[in-house]
Structure 1
Amino acid sequence: MRTELCDRFGVEHPIVGFTPSEHVAAAISRAGGLGVLGCVRYNDAADLEAALSWMDANTDGRPYGVDVVMPSTVPTEGTQLDLSEFIPAEHRAFVERTLADLGVPPLPDDERAGGGVLGWLHSVARSHVDVALKHPVRLIANALGSPPPDVIEQARACGVPVAALAGTAEHARRHVAKGVDVVVAQGYEAGGHTGEIASMVLLPEVVDAVGERVPVLAAGGIGSGRQIAAALALGAQGVWMGSAWLTTAEYTQGLAASATQQALLAATSADTVRSRIYSGKPARLLKTRWTQAWAAPDAPEPLPMPLQNILVSEAHERIQRSADPEVVAMPVGQIVGRLNEVRPVAEVVADLLAEFDRTLDRLHALR
């Protein structure tokens, strides 16, 4: 399996793996793909610096990238405390009442989250770019579309291409017009922030719109070699996979709790829901008692980004420590139905490649 994307990024396989775990990202790169580390959880630039330094030492010289969360325009942004003041009291009361109903215990007083994941803020996302460009990253991706023009130029001056996620062909055209180097066409099936159009429809539309100018990666619902073959057949130069790595052995070294793994392993492709409760923008999550509580008639409407994340940040930390898989708060795509066992990243990649080869053999036999 080799496309022009492999030569561009110096990888063996056109598999780009997004993950919030540096252990998983490094393992993807070592397996011949391009591991992309999600930066949004790093509130402190020093923490991200330490994670990328670890990546430098544990990727065997293989390339890797980073993913940031940055709006395309610079918002008026106050302090963390200023933003917290915009959260209505009834929203806070609903969260506390729901956590109590679900039996989720509070954090110790000295471990209170205190205001949300700052990585959702524009200023902190910019600091993530500054830190990343001090390392040998090969790609900077933005989960919220095109980064501001000066950020694109900053990356370009360092020889680092920029990728942006697109949920429509028009989004893709705008990205290219603004100087984005790689478009990730992310379908409705994907975990996290996602649009309204399914991958089978979206991908050829995006390829037809921009594929002659920039490479397109397929994202959303990809977790097998057959699906990679389908993506390449539809015109993609590679795939962007996220959810497929959540049940890898390396993920347990990073963020995963046993309850989270239990919930993911037990879920079917029907056990996800698209909601604004995670960050304020539509995102696909694992369907649990937490998401059901927000869907109840008496639940408040989610707040806009970044206020919703600030509202639920401590709740997510409390839920993550809970031993109950029925209350997990976790972004994941519909491909979760295929995640039925814990396996090392290298084994997952090997199976993807083997199934891809079998798929091509089967198609060739039809000629």
Structure 2
Amino acid sequence: MSSYPKTSALMARGIEFLGSEHAIMCGAMSWVSERNLVSAISNGGGFGVIACGAMTPDLLDAEIAATKAMTDKPFGVNLITMHPDLTDLIAVCTKHGVSHVVLAGGIPPKGSVEAIKAGGAKVIVFAPTLALAKKLLRSGADALVIEGSEAGGHIGPVSTSILAQEFLPELAQDFVVFVAGGIGTGDMIAAYLEMGASGVQLGTRFACATESIAHPDFKKAFFRAKARDAETSVQVDPRLPVIPVRALKNKGTESFTAKQREVAAVLDRGEVDMNEAQLQIEHYWAGALRRAVVDGDIENGSMMAGQSVGLVKEEEPAAEIIVKLMCQAEDALARR
């Protein structure tokens, strides 16, 4: 018998889809969601997801192999749709028999969903609007993540609570839908499950897990932060669409403003096209995030964090975080 009968019953579809003990996914956080954290989350009953980010196919190949050596539980790989080597990255996932591939960062390029499914993996997508969500699910995607603006990293403009009210009544009966953004406790997990979600995705809550390789100073900054400290980046030039990023405010957020002006000027001179300009922005974030996560430069690096950062108070093993979330969800449902 499950230790969490009410929660597990509501998660049943998500559990079956992921193949994990609980339908709790870890959001893909570049430099953070790597072999150590991913394997710890999967071993703890959740579903870890490798953040490919700007990795080359060779680097992803090594990361998947290392993760498989640390866990025999299911885990996924998050691929950025605008990555120039997307086709090769999909082939790497197929080579390793990765069970789930998450496509993030935009509308999946033509043929990418089909290529992933041909390799035997299930496809999870993001969608900022209900119309696009329906189109992607009709076009072959197996599951959807709706992620609100409270989340850390790249975000859309609408809050999780609004997205849940709009998407779940329309989709939850027929499709596997995970809710993400601003979730830090089991009470909120219970609420979204009751609304029809098959499971949830959390990132910020796991960023400071004991197994996370994030620098100690990075973790300390999370412990000190309040919800209002996690701010969204500002778009400088309307001709250069930039997906907003939520992060703790520091000198790095100011540097991003300067970077946008620099890239816009290069774009104006015709030295790069729009796609290359946006890739330069992505590479900026990858480098800035590495400075914070790996090097511990919390002043100049990118401190990507969701507004639930105010609920992260201490370093805990991933398995304990999952147990705590499940206990809170079960208690919340028992009080209904």
2: CA distance, partners of 1:22 / 1:358: 32
Q: TM-score, normalised by structure 1?
A: 0.77
Task: Please report how far the alpha carbon of residue 238 of structure 1 lies from its aligned counterpart in structure 2 after TM superposition.
Answer: 0.3
Tell me if 1:347 matches 2:308.
no
1: CA distance, partners of 2:260 / 2:23: 43
SS at match of 1:205: helix
Conserved? CA contact 1:204–1:235, under 8 Å:
no
Runs (4 or more) in structure 1 with deviation over 4 Å come to 293-296, 301-304, 311-324
Task: Please report how far the alpha carbon of residue 315 of structure 1 lies from its aligned counterpart in structure 2 after TM superposition.
Answer: 5.1
Q: Give the direction of change, closer, same or farther, for the CA distance of 1:4–1:317 in structure 2 (3 Å limit).
A: closer
Q: Which has the larger radius of gyration?
A: 1
Matching residue of 1:290: 252
Conserved? CA contact 2:247–2:305, under 8 Å:
yes
Cα offsets for 1:56-87 (capped at 9, x unmatched) = 1211x21111101004xxxxxxxxxxxxxxxx
Matching residue of 1:196: 157
Matches for 1:179-190 after TM superposition, within 5 Å: 179-190=140-151
1: CA distance, partners of 2:263 / 2:306: 20
Conserved? CA contact 1:280–1:306, under 8 Å:
no
SS at match of 1:57: helix
2:40 partner amino acid: A
Q: Give the direction of change, closer, same or farther, for the CA distance of 1:147–1:244 in structure 2 (3 Å limit).
A: same
Matches for 1:1-367 after TM superposition, within 5 Å: 1-2=7-8, 3-19=12-28, 20-42=33-55, 44-59=56-71, 61-71=72-82, 121=83, 123-252=84-213, 256-275=214-233, 280-294=242-256, 300=261, 303=264, 304-311=277-284, 314=287, 316-318=289-291, 324-363=297-336
Conserved? CA contact 2:177–2:197, under 8 Å:
yes
Aligned length: 306
2: CA distance, partners of 1:312 / 1:192: 9
Conserved? CA contact 1:146–1:178, under 8 Å:
no
2: CA distance, partners of 1:313 / 1:7: 33
Quick check: 308-317 or 349-358, which moved more? 308-317
2: CA distance, partners of 1:240 / 1:323: 26
Matching residue of 2:273: none
Task: Please report how far the alpha carbon of residue 312 of structure 1 lies from its aligned counterpart in structure 2 after TM superposition.
Answer: 5.8
Q: Which runs of 5+ in 1 are unaligned?
A: 72-120
Q: Give the direction of change, closer, same or farther, for the CA distance of 1:309–1:155 in structure 2 (3 Å limit).
A: closer
Q: Give the direction of change, closer, same or farther, for the CA distance of 1:319–1:191 in structure 2 (3 Å limit).
A: closer
Instruction: Provide the identity percentage.
Output: 30
Task: Please report how far the alpha carbon of residue 302 of structure 1 lies from its aligned counterpart in structure 2 after TM superposition.
Answer: 6.3
Cα offsets for 1:108-143 (capped at 9, x unmatched) = xxxxxxxxxxxxx3x223322111111232211111
Q: Give the direction of change, closer, same or farther, for the CA distance of 1:262–1:135 in structure 2 (3 Å limit).
A: same
Conserved? CA contact 1:70–1:126, under 8 Å:
no
Conserved? CA contact 1:35–1:65, under 8 Å:
yes
Q: TM-score, normalised by structure 2?
A: 0.83
Task: Please report how far the alpha carbon of residue 159 of structure 1 lies from its aligned counterpart in structure 2 after TM superposition.
Answer: 2.5
Q: Give the direction of change, closer, same or farther, for the CA distance of 1:7–1:321 in structure 2 (3 Å limit).
A: closer
2: CA distance, partners of 1:352 / 1:302: 42
Q: Give the direction of change, closer, same or farther, for the CA distance of 1:319–1:53 in structure 2 (3 Å limit).
A: closer
Matching residue of 1:98: none
Task: Please report how far the alpha carbon of residue 359 of structure 1 lies from its aligned counterpart in structure 2 after TM superposition.
Answer: 0.7
Conserved? CA contact 1:22–1:55, under 8 Å:
yes
Conserved? CA contact 1:223–1:335, under 8 Å:
yes
1: CA distance, partners of 2:180 / 2:49: 14
Task: Please report how far the alpha carbon of residue 146 of structure 1 lies from its aligned counterpart in structure 2 after TM superposition.
Answer: 3.9
Task: Please report how far the alpha carbon of residue 286 of structure 1 lies from its aligned counterpart in structure 2 after TM superposition.
Answer: 1.7
